[in-house]
Amino acid sequence: MTPTQPPYQTLNPATGEVLATFATATDADVDTAITAADRAYRDWSEQPLQMRQEVVRNAGRLLRERATELGELARMEMGKRVDEGTGEVEFSASIFEFYADQAATLLADQPIPTFSGGTAMVRRRPVGVLLGVMPWNFPVYQVARFAAPNLVLGNTVVLKHAESVPQCALAIAELLREAGVPDGVYTNLFATFDQVETIIGDPRVQGVSVTGSERAGAAVAATAGRALKKCLLELGGSDPFIVLDGDAGELARTAWDFRTYNMGQACNSNKRMIVVDDLYDDFVAALTSQARDLRPEDIAPLSSRAAAETIAAQVGDAVDKGATLHVGGVLADAPAAFYTPAVLTGVTPDMRAYTEELFGPVAVVYRVRDEDEAVALANSSAFGLGASVFSKDVARAEKVAQQLDAGMVNVNTPAGEGPDIPFGGVKRSGFGRELGALGIDEFVNKQVFIVAD
């Protein structure tokens, strides 16, 4: 069944008030956008790399200058705390700066030294028009990690942002225009679901990148497959946070801070905390204490009333089936989207919380006997985005980490982050990578170029 198309609107999740509504694109708008992107590609891709680098560097500078302004916009549209929003924009700036600084190295011709009879190399060339389908949870960062490498490479971008952050989408497009991105090279489009399918099927479009839910990823991948188009999918996650030994209180603080960042609305958040027997009780007690000590100003709304109701229903299902809710889990009265951060234990396979992604501030803690049980539980998920292992014995933690089925595995840190650190997963978390050297290689023609003697 095709989902109902939501309107593009700014709806303050703290109050439920609709602040602005925007018209969706017409079919003529879609064709105009693709035509402009296709025409712009011819010129943009042939510009000197140094010119594209300078434009991308300008975008990074403008993001830094407007970090607070864009952070406030994210707060208004999806509820993010302003300090977190500002930090998101500054990190996005570093992504543009990284690709501006490193493009010449990342895109350099790669000689094939074993070839005889002439010279052979692999050249990295752009492919054309790309579609980006981006989510609301990091409204600037998600766009940056897709757009920055592809713009510096020479591709052109049509961007369909989430319906709930239209003003963020417009602000990014305007910022890139001011940075010197020519008309048609980056186009924001308030497209419908049906129009996304049309765009992917258009022969002028060469690929699509999606960050979102499993459902959205599966739908786009099916469409891309029928059209023989390259796609990159970054979908859900249920990342394990394995605690083998150490200071239970300190580890709980690390776990809690990461779990409640962006009110738990991050794909690579530590959604399953797996703790050995010896530390389990103290770890749960420390988490519970931190949840109880939260001040009202520490609790932001979730992105929407629907998001808050979904996480409440998942926790409610677990409690009804025997799980223990230690603290939190209070859903505000409608239409506000507040849900108090919670600690949940006793989750079993018959509960929704065991298999579904919990996209909100709920810390689920599992007790295990030993390392083998921790690995088995960690790998039992259908997701495979990130994972982390904590131990005072680094060699012990590395041995466990090497057994985990995930795209990103970390030892003694919840996540490795940086514009040079690739991001992506395996299994139902999707495929492909963004950021770093791998990110710029996704939508590139690795052209073999041979000159005979």
Here the CATH number for the domain that contains residue 43 is 3.40.605.10
Model-level pTM? 0.97
Together in a domain, 166 and 274: no
Best CA proximity match to 159, nearest among 179, 139, 178:
139
Together in a domain, 157 and 281: no
Task: Write out pLDDT tens, residues 385-439.
Answer: 999 999 999 999 999 999 999 999 999 999 999 999 999 999 999 999 999 999 9
Together in a domain, 220 and 248: no
In a domain, 358, yes or no: yes
Together in a domain, 66 and 211: yes
The band of 5, judged by pLDDT with boundaries at 50, 70 and 90, is confident
In a domain, 370, yes or no: yes
Task: Write out pLDDT tens, residues 312-367.
Answer: 999 999 999 999 999 999 999 999 999 999 999 999 999 999 999 999 999 999 99
Range of the domain at 298: 239-418
How far CA 140 is from CA of 72, 257, 324, 406, in Å, comes to 12, 21, 37, 25
- pLDDT of res. 4: 80
Together in a domain, 394 and 437: no
Together in a domain, 46 and 61: yes
How many CB atoms sit inside 10 A of residue 450's CB?
11
Assess whether pLDDT exceeds 60 at residue 69: yes
Assess whether pLDDT exceeds 50 at residue 1: no
Mean pLDDT value of segment 174-191: 98
Task: Write out pLDDT tens, residues 110-145.
Answer: 999 999 999 999 999 999 999 999 999 999 999 999
Sheet architecture: strand order including 110-111 = 110-111, 118-125, 445-452
Mean pLDDT value of segment 272-289: 98
What is the DSSP secondary structure assignment for residue 161, as one 8-state letter? -
305 neighbors 337 (Cβ within 8 angstroms): yes
Assess whether pLDDT exceeds 70 at residue 42: yes
Together in a domain, 246 and 230: no
Together in a domain, 255 and 397: yes
In a domain, 66, yes or no: yes
Together in a domain, 220 and 270: no
- pLDDT of res. 142: 98
What is the DSSP secondary structure assignment for residue 139, as one 8-state letter? T
In a domain, 366, yes or no: yes
Together in a domain, 408 and 442: no
- pLDDT of res. 297: 87
3-state secondary structure of 388: strand
Tell me how far apart the alpha carbons of residues 221 and 154 are, in angstroms, rounded to a whole number: 24
Mean pLDDT value of segment 204-222: 95
In the chain, the number of structural domains is 2
CATH of the domain at 346: 3.40.309.10
The band of 300, judged by pLDDT with boundaries at 50, 70 and 90, is very high
H helix or E strand, kind and range, residue 21: strand 17-22
The band of 10, judged by pLDDT with boundaries at 50, 70 and 90, is very high
Catalytic residue numbers, as ranges: 234, 267
Mean pLDDT value of segment 253-278: 98
Together in a domain, 129 and 72: yes
Mean pLDDT value of segment 146-165: 98
Together in a domain, 198 and 230: yes
Best CA proximity match to 367, nearest among 238, 239, 281, 256:
281
In a domain, 329, yes or no: yes
- pLDDT of res. 2: 58
Mean pLDDT value of segment 189-207: 97
In a domain, 4, yes or no: no
In a domain, 423, yes or no: no
